[in-house]
Amino acid sequence: MTDADSLRVMPYDLPDADLHAPDGETHRCRVFVPPRRMAVIGKGSDPRVELNVETILADGIPVMRRNTGGCAVILSPRMLAVAFALFGKQQQKSSDYFCLFNGVIIRALHALGVTELEHAGTSDIARHGRKIAGTAIYRNREVVFYHAIVNVAEDPRMIERYLALPPRMPDYRAARGHADFVTSLDEQGFRLEFDAVHREVEEEYDRLMQPPFPPEA
């Protein structure tokens, strides 16, 4: 029996779990702080490939599987989770939505004094070539669901402790390990209050969603 065989993977039940379920609204937003350290793997992720399973088990880190895609991530109370859902059959390319919604986070952080953020790779937000936020999109004919994890103050060495190198990496990463590739707003010299980031992201999202956006389905 291997370590992976004894790994318990629970269903995803964080506050954005049902955000992409249609309920008559045209769009929805949810921003929250993860309640504790945990690993979240994508719908098709293999924990033996994407997690350092031995360390996960030794430290008692819970593992959840979300029903959307993307590679494994580590969450902690020193990060901020952001999720947007846009409903309707008239849709753009995923790359357009990554730029659109990453822009919401970049502008919100800029309003709090964070400079020189950029959209990097396919879907990251980075500063000086180091990743501050990772994002993913799930979509079907009815919804585009975007979620992001913004590293406000977590030590990248913690991420490296629990995550293996991902099976897919953007070119700008240059095969760097998590501790050398990931950074935090705090590490970059921006010490922000979580409530302030939460508020600015929601306000920037509301500005984006003013008519004529989103388009009529």
pLDDT of 151-186, one tens digit each? 999 999 999 999 999 888 999 999 999 999 999 999
pTM given for the model: 0.93
Question: What confidence tens digit (pLDDT) does each residue in 5-15 have?
Answer: 789 999 999 99
Q: What does the chain come to in residues?
A: 217
Mean pLDDT of 75-94: 93
The domain segmentation of the chain, as residue ranges, is 4-208
* 104, pLDDT greater than 50: yes
Residue 59: how many CB atoms within 10 A of its CB? Answer: 11
Look at residue 1 in the predicted model and tell me its pLDDT. 43
**pLDDT grade for 217, boundaries at 50, 70 and 90:** very low
- Per DSSP, the residues of the chain read --TGGG--EEEP-STTTTTTS-SS-SEEEEEE--SS-EEEE-TT--HHHHB-HHHHHHHT--EEE-SS-S--EEE-TTEEEEEEEEESS----HHHHHHHHHHHHHHHHHHTT--SEEEETTTEEEETTEEEEEEEEEE-SSEEEEEEEEESS--HHHHHHHBPPPSS--GGGTT--HHHHB--TTTTT----HHHHHHHHHHHHHHHTSTT-SPP-
How would you classify the pairing of strands 63-65 and 38-41? Answer: parallel
Look at residue 144 in the predicted model and tell me its pLDDT. 94
Mean pLDDT of 193-209: 96
Question: What confidence tens digit (pLDDT) does each residue in 62-71 have?
Answer: 999 998 888 8
Superfamily name and number for 4-208? Bira Bifunctional Protein; Domain 2 (3.30.930.10)
